[in-house]
A and B are shown apart, each in its own frame.
Chain A
Amino acid sequence: MINLETPRKFEQLVSQAHLVATEIFRANSRKYDRAEHSYPKELDMLAAAIDGMNEGGGISGAGAGTVGSGPSGNGASGKGRSGNRNGSNMASLLGLIELCWGDVGLLLTMPRQGLGQAAIAAVADEEQLARFGGKWAAMAITEPEAGSDSAAIRTTAKYDEDTDEYVLNGEKIFVTSGDRADLIVVWATLDPSQGRAAIKSFVVERDNPGLKLDRLEHKLGIRASDTANFVLDNCRVPKENLLGSPEIAPKGGFAGVMQTFDNTRPLVAGMAIGVSRACLDRTRELLAEAGIEIDYDRPPHSQPAAAADFISMESDWEAARLLTLRAAWMADNRKPNSLQASMAKAKAGRVATDVALRCVALAGSVGYGEGELLEKWARDVKILDIFEGTQQIQLLIVSRLLLGKTSGELK
């Protein structure tokens, strides 16, 4: 039965996340936007509290590690009469939207909540889960010469029979929380001549002497979240740190790695929805102070332009939000959702950026100045249309699936 309201059972989770967003994230937003590269120690206590709540089955808002197509959380209570489930994918998404309404930069640097955990959860075996589970894991995929084209990465992993280790060499950039995390999940190729099939992910401990921090980036936004560049210089990891199978299989291996994104893309879309809702909420207040009320019944063209503009932004925001909830709902119900996950990410990424920039303009100097957070949100939000697959990559995925094209045909 069609129903697109937030399930009542998640209301408490949402209100907890909202409280955290208000009291901790918003309270520190400007501070860490200004103090780039300084560690937001306020988050340590919060992260510990969230760890505790996760174990208790409560708020799992920022937990990328809890999403996936496997048996989802919330147990039997997630199951409806007709087999319909609202489980951990939706719970994580809803919590995340609230937290990012608070501050997406701080969310991204929440201890032990990095997207690397999603990769580990997706492909690790039991022994690896025991060793790496619960740690703060960052993802290192992008290289100076390979961004969206992740199959073209050049970082190599050579097996050393004498020591039973892999030796990693190469350069990794744009590693979110790379300097703060305990572990870095590094993508490297066992054999550059064999393309995608040879790409594997390796868990590297942050204190590995072969993993050398090159620099921390200075960025447009999400400054609370550090972005690290590394050089891997004969970086040795035990062979047990390879995630998944060491075999170079012509099919399946890389696709498995890429499927991690089906679960994380709706989360990044959710971040975009959270940030842009913050923009809309604040702009609505500022417009009200300026005497502009939004009337949903009267035609937009017979209202002030600002009100019409607001309805226009809000409608696209609503479309993005519902597309994202759909992708999470499908994951909870174990329906394949590659298409819907990319649709959600594409729509949310562009809508959120558009909304944030238009809200700055509607609020005028108040929106552009640092006295409000609107200008910060407009800077923060842009990354969400880029990482975890750019707008253009999402459209490629969507159109290939719709048109039945291979990556060779539709480049």
Chain B
Amino acid sequence: MSSQQNLAERGMAAGLRALNWLAASDLLDRLGLREPTERLLHGASKTTVATATRAGRTFAAAQRLSRPARQPKGPRTDLFDLEPADEQQMLRDSVREFALAKLRPAAEEADAATATPPELLGQANELGLSMVGVPEELGGAVEQRSAVTSVLMSEALAQGDMGIAVACLAPAAVSTAISLWGDATQQSTYLPEFVSENVPAAALAILEPRAMFDPFRLETRARRANGGYVLDGTKALVPRAQDAELFIIAAELEGTGPALFIVEPATQGIAVEPEPAMGVRAAATGTLTFDNAKLGPDALLGGGDPKVYTECVQLGRLGWCAVALGTGRAVLDYVIPYVNERKAFGEPIAHRQAVAFTVANIAIELDGMRLATYRAASRVDQDLSFAREVALARRLCAERGMAIGSDGVQLLGGHGYVTEHPVERWYRDLRAGGVMEGALLI
């Protein structure tokens, strides 16, 4: 494993090696899998080649900002209110429509292929997901910074499919982070690409591969050297890791604490490997390894301020809450007609309290999760402290969300366990809520 190859080269090499190995094996013939696998590999190698090209994208500022641009916060209300503003409702409804029409039908195949079809990513970009968090003067889509809007859009997208939603939202995490914390140079360099027609694949990586991971005790290290930084360590379950053209990487900066770095994948010393997981497979998660990876002086995001990093972790958790809400809603909407139609002992199983109460509890817990998540997001928008509210929402979405996934399978019984119905995928996806850090950003 040479660390001299850059990511693009390594990606192509790994793809071709796997192809060669598989083509030489008679395993596929024995299992009758050759044709589908070749189709799959065809897609995969195309993606790999495309990655090599895209990874070569140069981020360069056409015009330099004199100072960083920030989205202003929106108006406040003093009244308790559960109705989103009109424009938020419109955004949410259009994203939901897209999610149900496009993401849901593509979900099973994308899950199996551990990849989201590029045309779907392109269509999702047209929804402006990566532009929502970008200031208007840099080409952003929305005048005001609104965590609530991001939550509503992420929730709606994940109602179609969580894995694809994460793949679609991964670049938005990067563009939002640079919008929120980038300096003038970083914003001028990177943000124009995120508001272009060809949004780069990008990912925010915090998670590391070990039990008891704590995002405030990172083992990925950054040290200062030659006016820049040097990264060492490993990041786990990074969405679209292999085709990403830009990363934000969390690392412990010596003498400062955990901090965020903007990293271009062409950097020497970065290796990437696919790391498929239990769920969110369409997000094409991978492992990133940094071995003496040298970053320039402009790589540090938010000046290494520990408050920026903490906020990033919190907003990431809110993102995982939002997608859990969407998938939880998918479960509820799926089980209600199922238990009403499925008959046992001569009547619909919905006539049994054990079944009906399970449905009731899914709805109750889902609404509790949703209200807690909305409250946390609305506190972000109101400049109120939100550490506690994010923690409470995260715990609800992780644990109650997981239970909703489990109940969804249980209500369908054996039918829930097979891939003919989507509930087994939602079961796998909903476990992500308690595990994932970063990757999304509200």
* Residue ranges of A at the interface with B (Cβ–Cβ < 8 Å): 1-9, 80-82, 84-86, 90, 296-302, 311-312, 314-316, 318-320, 322-323, 325-326, 329, 340, 343, 346-347, 392, 395-396, 398-400, 402-405, 409-411
Contact = CB atoms under 8 A, between A and B. Distances in A.
B84 A1 contact: yes
A315 B372 contact: yes
Given A5-B384, A323-B364, A297 B396 contact: no
Rank and list the top 6 A-B pairs by shortest CB-CB distance, nearest first. A319-B368, A322-B371, A399-B356, A296-B391, A4-B375, A399-B360
Given A3-B382, A300-B395, A403 B340 contact: yes
Contacts of B374: 2, 4
Interface string B148-159: 100000000000
A273 to B, nearest CB: 12
Contact of A2 (B148, B212, B313, B396): B148
B336 interface: yes
A199 B85 CA distance: 44
B124 to A, nearest CB: 24
A318 B321 CA distance: 15
B80 interface: yes
A1 B83 contact: yes
A343 B364 CA distance: 6
B138 interface: no
Contacts of B371: 4, 319, 322-323, 326
Given A7-B80, A402-B360, A403-B359, A1 B75 contact: yes
A297 B314 contact: yes
Contacts of B75: 1
Contacts of A410: 350-351, 353, 356
B379 A5 contact: yes
Contacts of B213: 299
B441 to A, nearest CB: 16
A4 B378 contact: yes
A84 B85 CA distance: 12
A347 B370 CA distance: 14
B356 A311 contact: no
A397 B367 CA distance: 16
Instruction: Give the interface size bracket for B toward A.
Output: 35 or more
B35 interface: no
Contacts of B80: 3-7, 86, 90, 325, 329
B82 interface: yes
B369 A86 contact: no
A84 B83 CA distance: 9
A300 B368 CA distance: 20
A354 to B, nearest CB: 13
Interface of B: 74-85, 88, 148, 212-217, 310, 313-314, 336, 339-340, 350-351, 353, 356-357, 359-361, 363-365, 367-369, 371-372, 374-375, 377-379, 382, 384, 387-393, 395-396, 399-400
- Main SS at interface, chain A: helix
Contact of A311 (B353, B391, B400): B391
A5 B340 contact: no
A318 B392 contact: yes
A6 B81 CA distance: 10
Given A3-B81, A402-B336, A405-B356, A311 B392 contact: yes
A23 B365 CA distance: 36
Given A297-B391, A311-B391, A319-B400, 7 more contacts: A2-B374, A297-B310, A316-B368, A322-B371, A326-B82, A340-B367, A411-B351
B359 A402 contact: yes
Nearest to A302: B214
A402 B384 contact: no
Contacts of B393: 315
20 contacts: A1-B77, A2-B83, A3-B79, A8-B78, A9-B78, A80-B77, A85-B79, A312-B395, A315-B393, A318-B389, A319-B369, A323-B364, A323-B368, A325-B80, A326-B371, A340-B367, A398-B363, A402-B360, A402-B363, A404-B340
B360 A395 contact: yes
A294 B76 CA distance: 30
A396 B82 contact: no
B378 A2 contact: yes
Contacts of A6: 80
Contacts of A311: 391-392, 395
A299 B214 contact: yes
B360 A346 contact: yes
Nearest to B350: A403
A316 B363 CA distance: 14
Nearest to A332: B80
A314 to B, nearest CB: 6
Contacts of B360: 346, 395, 398-399, 402
A346 B74 CA distance: 35
Given A5-B382, A297-B216, A409-B351, A319 B79 contact: no
A380 B61 CA distance: 66
Contacts of B396: 315-316, 318-319
B364 A86 contact: no
A114 B399 CA distance: 38
A343 B366 CA distance: 11
B353 to A, nearest CB: 7
B367 A323 contact: yes
A68 to B, nearest CB: 18
Contact of A84 (B79, B339, B390): B79
B368 A320 contact: yes
